[in-house]
Amino acid sequence: MKKALETKKSFKNFSNIASIVVDSFKVFSEFKAEYESFKKVKKCDFQSIAKMEKELFSLKEATHALVRAESGEKKEIRETDLYDLIVSSIFHELLHLKEYIYILDKYEPSFDLIEKKLEDRNIETFKKDFLRHSREMVGEAKLGLPLKIQGINQLVEDAVRHLVQIIKANSYDGRFIRSIYMSSELVEAVYGEKGLKTLYEAVYEGGFIEGCFLVAESFSKSGFYEEALNILERLTAGTELLDKENKQYKLQKDYLERAKKNISALKEKQGRK
Q: Are residues 271 and 194 in the same domain?
A: yes
Check whether residue 30 and residue 88 sit in a common domain: yes
- Check whether residue 130 and residue 142 sit in a common domain: yes
Q: Tell me, yes or no, whether 183 and 160 share the same domain.
A: no
At residue 273, the pLDDT reads 55
- How many structural domains compose the chain? 2
The answer, yes or no, to whether residue 1 has pLDDT greater than 60, is no
pTM of the model: 0.83
Is residue 133 domain-shared with residue 193, that is, in the same domain? no
- Span 178-206, average pLDDT: 94
Residues 53 and 163 in one domain: yes
Asked if the model's pLDDT at residue 250 lies above 70, the reply is: yes
28 has a pLDDT exceeding 90 = yes
55 plus 20 within the same structural domain: yes
Give the span between the Cα atoms of 133 and 259, in whole angstroms. 68
Confidence of residue 193 (pLDDT cuts 50, 70, 90): confident
Please report the sign of the dihedral spanned by the C-alpha atoms of residue 209, residue 198, residue 187, residue 62: positive
What residue numbers bound the domain in which 162 lies?
Answer: 2-170
* Inter-residue contact 190 to 33 (CB < 8 Å): no
Residues 240 and 138 grouped into a single domain:
no
Q: Judge if 121 and 63 occupy the same domain.
A: yes
Could you tell me if 208 and 158 lie in one domain? no
The band of 120, judged by pLDDT with boundaries at 50, 70 and 90, is low
What does the pLDDT read at residue 71?
Answer: 58
Give which of 267, 265, 181 is closest to 219, Cα–Cα: 181
pLDDT tens digits, residue range 124-165? 878 778 888 888 999 999 999 999 999 999 999 999 999 999
Q: Specify whether 61 is located in the same domain as 142.
A: yes
Torsion of CA 181, 185, 190, 192, to 10 degrees: 100
Looking at the structure, tell me whether residues 144 and 160 fall in a common domain. yes
pLDDT attached to residue 3: 39
